């Protein structure tokens, strides 16, 4: 069983690389497609937070654990934002389309998704511990929404001037956190529900920060109409997929 769990979690994580490869293949998007992609990514993250991370966090722990983890995720991403990008110069401060802004956004998304993938890997192991089919369904659900997360990471990095090979390596690094979480889950006879609740809430806080502070504002700055279209396009199907696979 351990080999199967690690293999399934690794494949689920590698779906992030698949999403990035799509962006690398088609090249830098034009403004309207970029607005749709950023809105789409923000919608996916919002749906994952509302329909996946927070409900499972609540099932594992109390509101206090959720509040602590959620606040910790936001604080962590704000601190990461200071590290991920240099302070903008006077020339770039008022240029939201400057490559440095996109580069910072891509790095933040990579950190946020890595934080998200770690507890999801643990959840695959936990699902297998209770029932093999549950672990398989969990891995499938994670893999499906990792594809748009790969798109969300790759698009701003490409706009920020990163090489395609570097972008794929970024996403490969992110993908390792899913099997890492699964291995961590298998190494424990039982992970405390309080710890799992805090981890899931931490990821929810990080994704909320990314959606509201980075992805959606940038999508709307490029085009409010197309950004909103992308937001709905990402939110509605992702919420439905999560409901079907886990409901």
Residues 71-84: pLDDT tens digits? 988 888 888 777 65
Secondary structure of the chain: what % helix, strand, coil (to 5)? 90, 0, 10
Each residue's pLDDT tens digit, 122-160: 767 765 654 555 556 666 767 776 787 788 788 888 888
* End-to-end Cα separation, the chain, in angstroms: 25
Residue 211: count other Cβ atoms within 10 Å of its Cβ: 26
Distances (CA, A) of 103 to 28, 93, 100, 159: 13, 14, 5, 7
Domain spans of the chain? 2-246
Q: What is the pLDDT of residues 94-131, one digit of tens each?
A: 555 677 778 888 888 888 888 778 777 776 776 565 45
What token pair was written down for 59? Answer: 């099932």
**What does the pLDDT read at residue 232?**
94
Instruction: Report the SS3 class of residue 165.
Output: helix
Tokens standing for 226? 């197309």
Interatomic CA distance for residues 216 and 38, integer angstroms: 7
């Amino acid at each position: 069983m351990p080999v199967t769990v690690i293999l399934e979690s690794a494949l689920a994580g590698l779906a992030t690389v698949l999403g990035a490869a799509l962006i690398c293949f088609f090249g830098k998007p034009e403004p309207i497609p970029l607005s749709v992609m950023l809105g789409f990514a923000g919608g996916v993250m919002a749906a994952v937070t509302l329909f996946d991370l927070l409900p499972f966090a609540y099932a594992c722990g109390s509101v206090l654990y959720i509040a602590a983890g959620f606040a910790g995720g936001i604080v962590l991403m704000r601190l990461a934002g200071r590290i991920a990008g240099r302070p903008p110069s006077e020339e770039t401060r008022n240029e939201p389309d400057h490559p440095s802004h996109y580069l910072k956004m891509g790095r933040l998304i990579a950190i946020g998704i890595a934080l998200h993938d770690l507890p999801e890997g643990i959840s695959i192991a936990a699902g297998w511990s209770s029932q093999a089919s549950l672990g398989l369904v969990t891995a499938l659900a994670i893999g499906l929404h990792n594809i748009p997360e790969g798109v969300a990471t790759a698009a701003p990095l490409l706009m920020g001037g990163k090489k395609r090979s570097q972008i794929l390596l970024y996403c490969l690094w992110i993908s390792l956190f899913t099997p890492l979480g699964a291995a961590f889950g298998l190494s424990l006879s039982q992970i405390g529900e309080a710890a799992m609740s805090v981890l899931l809430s931490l990821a929810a806080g990080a994704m909320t920060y990314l959606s509201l502070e980075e992805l959606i504002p940038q999508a709307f700055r490029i085009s409010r109409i197309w950004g909103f279209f992308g937001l709905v396009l990402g939110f509605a199907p992702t919420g439905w997929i999560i409901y079907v696979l886990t409901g």
